[in-house]
Amino acid sequence: MTTQQIKYFLVLAEELHFWNTAEKVFISQSSLTRQIQALEDELGFSLFERNKRNVKLTNAGKFLQKHWTKTINELDQIYRQAKKIDQGDAGHVSISYPGSITFSVLPSFLEIIKNNLPDLKLELAELTDENHQKLLLDYNTDIAFSRDSIQHANIQSLKLSTEPICIAVPNNHWLDKKSISNIEKLKHENFIISGLHQTTFFSSLLRKLFNQLGFEPRISIESDFGGMILNLVSKGLGISILPHSFKHSKFDNVRFIDLKQTIDLYMHWRKNEHNKTITKVVACSKLIKKSKA
């Protein structure tokens, strides 16, 4: 039997009229009769009781109508989903990202995805000390947002933005835009930052920054999670240095003072990607870049 024969049966089971059914499914009445007869021959029992005037379902036909209706609906849904996947409108995409874009770029990106690819399932992973290149090449992530560029023959990158580095302080802190010229006084402050011994891109940037400032910071708390850091800053437990994007977090009792140093944001994906879904996600990311231009 074929799914087309089952669909003919289901329409006839509703219409209980061969001529009306034939018109509805766009075949001749004789062709419909042959299709139903072939289905009954394969099953080995009758689906309809029919005479010159009436057509009605047998008990077996009623049973199959109930169950085949559900099955055909599921098959149609599976087909539509498979077609969306083939066209790149559905499926599953994994995305890794730094915490600094949690309050700014990432929500905008997810909104664009939802508007353009509503059936897409996303898996998000906030990473700290991870090798984005390895994650991509090992297929452990499909899209990687990172602060550092990746130079690899099999990875494509797009620079999305550049932003300042900021000092985050409690509202009542002495440091402001006017007193930033006395930044060397910060050597007496308690810092809440990523560990400078780490090999992450941001830790490397902080080491370079403190070398330029000419002092070693007094680190009271180490953390790689910006949300936690800002929460501690808001409670007056120290100050921090973070990307400008964290301004969008809107923590109470926290001020941001821009520094001259800047940091970039990149998006990476595998070159010659055959998954149409991923290529459409990449296209959506370019809408973010356009909106920031």
How do residues 124-179 score in pLDDT, each as one tens digit?
A: 998 876 688 889 988 889 999 999 999 999 999 999 999 999 999 999 999 888 88
Comparing 12-16, 63-67, 116-120, 169-173, the range with the smallest average pLDDT is 116-120
Each as own residue / partner, the long-range contacts of residues 106-109 (CB below 8 Å, 24 or more positions apart, any chain) are 106/145, 108/288, 108/291, 109/284, 109/285, 109/288
Confidence check: pLDDT of 64 > 60: yes
For residue 6, give Cα distances in angstroms to 63, 94, 217. 13, 39, 75
Identify the domain boundary among 51, 72, 87. 87
Identify the domain boundary among 87, 116, 141. 87
Confidence check: pLDDT of 293 > 70: no
150 and 168 assigned to the same domain: no
Residue-averaged pLDDT of the chain: 89
Domain span including residue 209: 162-262
Mean pLDDT of 193-216: 89
Residue 23 sits in a domain whose CATH number is 1.10.10.10
Phi, psi angles (nearest 5°) of residue 239: -125, 170
Confidence check: pLDDT of 290 > 70: no
213 and 284 assigned to the same domain: no
pLDDT at 265: 93
274 and 147 assigned to the same domain: yes
154 and 205 assigned to the same domain: no
Phi, psi angles (nearest 5°) of residue 73: -60, -40
74 or 239: whose pLDDT is higher? 239
pLDDT at 228: 93
Mean pLDDT of 104-129: 88
120 and 203 assigned to the same domain: no
138 and 195 assigned to the same domain: no
Confidence check: pLDDT of 264 > 80: yes
66 and 110 assigned to the same domain: no
49 or 79: whose pLDDT is higher? 49
227 and 94 assigned to the same domain: no
Tokens of 274: 């055959």
pLDDT at 291: 57
Spatial distance between the Cα atoms of 11 and 137, rounded to a whole number of angstroms: 50
Spatial distance between the Cα atoms of 215 and 132, rounded to a whole number of angstroms: 31
Confidence check: pLDDT of 85 > 90: no
Question: What is the number of domains present in the chain?
Answer: 3
pLDDT at 269: 94
136 and 272 assigned to the same domain: yes
Residue 108 sits in a domain whose CATH number is 3.40.190.10
pLDDT at 292: 57
pLDDT at 15: 93
7 and 69 assigned to the same domain: yes
Identify the domain boundary among 37, 72, 87. 87
- Whether the full predicted model's pTM is greater than 0.85, yes or no, is no
154 and 270 assigned to the same domain: yes
234 and 273 assigned to the same domain: no
